[in-house]
Chain A
Amino acid sequence: MSIALSIQSLVKRYGDFTAVDHLSLDVPEGEFFGFLGPNGAGKTTTINAIVGLVTFQEGNIRVCGHDVAADYRKARACIGLAPQEFNFDRYLTIREVLLYTAGYFGVPAKEAKSRADLMLRQFDLTSKRDVDYTKLSGGMKRRLSLARALVHQPRVLILDEPTAGVDVELRLELWDALSTLNREGLTIILTTHYLEEAQHLCKRIGIINHGRLVALDQTESMIAGRSQERILLEFEAPVQALPAGLEALGAAWDPTTRTVTFSEALASDLPRILGAFEGQGHRLTHVDVQRKTLQDVFLELTARRENP
């Protein structure tokens, strides 16, 4: 299978600060790849280096076999980008945004018109075709951003936080659209904060922290079986000792308080946990299940891989 994106030993420095530190990565054609990492980890810098919005000091990047520096026009022609921040042209209407982008990519006018109209229909924007982008809701702007990235029929679609700030319904809609595009053969690379999103969409995940790739694996083997919740139990009286058999579940408690938390337990462990406490005569007053933030999972994953 041919390689859609190949990054070799990429280094990007801003003065003394190294934003991306010898990052290497290959994404085969047709893959759905997720790029995860906390804020400031270097995700957007890496994306921008690929698309040509950022220069870099070392390494090289090839998109569909074209070097992004030496052969920048061929490389850019292969990429569709939906950036994190909206950057639409304020002098254009929605339909013109699509037409002009197609034009910049060399699509002839007639073809551009039919593609723009198709995109407007596909992303449910036809009724807004003649308004300024400032008149769109946040969700519509996200859809327009995706339509613009696709209007020149790229081979690689790059999405930087595509569902940041959109409601659940639209998120599901976008996921659906992206899955369909990927099934049709489009290579998709996305960055995200949401573990759930990566888990739902991506075949493979790379985790970046402090500019370095700290984990790279199939999504299933990286996340499957991991707890995504934190279970909090509150009892009538402080818990002095943890019942036997619960040590492996990431328990944390303080003998002076009445709460015990389990950070590595799955929901299916709950009956066993409750039974064990009941057996010791502890009376439960409150149960809370908190969704872990991606930050928590990053810390677990990165801690595991940085200090094996």
Chain B
Amino acid sequence: MNLIGFQTLVTREIKRTFKIINQVIWPPLISTLLYLFIFGFSLGRRIQDIDGVPYLEFLIPGLIVMSVVEASFSESSASLFQGRFTNSIQELLVAPLSYLEMVLGYVVGSILRGLIIGNLIMALGWLIVGVSPANWGLYLLFMVLISAFFSCMGLVMGLVAESWDQLSIPGTFVITPLVFLGGVFNSPRLLPENLQPFINANPLFYLIDGFRGSMLAEWKAPIMSELFFLVLLTTFGLILAMNLFRSGYKLRA
């Protein structure tokens, strides 16, 4: 086990995050503030409680998941794609790092970015709305696993993409719709009946629902089965990313 090599890669990913802080840390915080402002002070009072939870409290966990998903997906996908684009990925490929260490290096780097952003938003929510996690253990576990899964998907996309333009496709056409229809701003159960099969097929719905349950004591969710589902997703993501790295797909000619 090349522990030093693995730590070096994680450090490198964090360094990258802070080097592009204006692109990756401030935007989600500012948009969260704007959402809270619009929904909290202009619309919020007209929106009823959702299943007994005041609207702003309902909103905070969704906003956190939205930013964590975006952060971890774009961290690993952009970092890996850029490495392929500039060939600097070769620095890793010629080093005595196992494929597992390479994948985990990127994934842990993305999780740390997800944790930083997720917790900054949680702190904003606590300051403005007064919501803090009801169950810290579950809250952090959900956040880490959601980050890990989307970071694996980011690695897959970072390998598949052939241009920066292609790299933006899943964010725009898959992740954003799934997040918005997965219950960030409203309960998807309030959507029309004939849309319910799509809601049930949307994995983001279960992740957001479970995460909301970990933060809000009064939110009734089947947390444990949703957590189990998330563990399965993350395992699948790791195995997929590992196999692509091992096969050298788009990494080794």
Contact = CB atoms under 8 A, between A and B. Distances in A.
Interface of A: 14, 48, 51-55, 72-74, 76-77, 79, 81, 83, 85, 87-92, 100-101, 103-109
Contact of B252 (A52, A77, A81, A87): A52
Contacts of A91: 12, 15-16, 19
Query: Interface size for chain B: under 10, 10 to 19, 20 to 34, or 35 or more residues?
Result: 20 to 34
Contacts of B7: 103
12 contacts: A51-B94, A52-B94, A54-B253, A55-B253, A73-B2, A77-B96, A87-B90, A92-B15, A103-B5, A104-B92, A105-B5, A106-B4
A103 B4 contact: yes
B181 interface: no
Contacts of A106: 2-5, 96
Contacts of A52: 93-94, 252
B96 A73 contact: yes
Contacts of B97: 73, 104
B32 to A, nearest CB: 26
Interface string B1-26: 01111011101100110010000000
A83 B90 contact: yes
B160 to A, nearest CB: 18
Nearest to A103: B8
A76 B94 contact: yes
Interface string B95-122: 1111000000000000000000000000
A152 B92 CA distance: 14
A56 to B, nearest CB: 10
A55 B97 CA distance: 17
Nearest to B83: A89
Given A53-B252, A55-B253, A108-B4, A100 B94 contact: no
Nearest to B105: A104
A103 B101 CA distance: 13
A101 B91 contact: yes
Most buried by A among B5, B7, B11, B94: B94
Most buried by B among A73, A83, A91, A105: A91
B95 to A, nearest CB: 4
A90 B90 contact: no
B124 to A, nearest CB: 28
A74 B96 CA distance: 7
A84 to B, nearest CB: 11
Interface in B230-247: none
A77 B12 CA distance: 20
B5 to A, nearest CB: 5
A83 B90 CA distance: 10
A90 B12 CA distance: 11
Given A51-B94, A83-B90, A88-B88, 16 more contacts: A53-B93, A53-B253, A54-B253, A55-B248, A55-B252, A76-B96, A79-B94, A87-B86, A88-B91, A91-B19, A92-B15, A100-B11, A103-B8, A105-B5, A106-B5, A106-B96
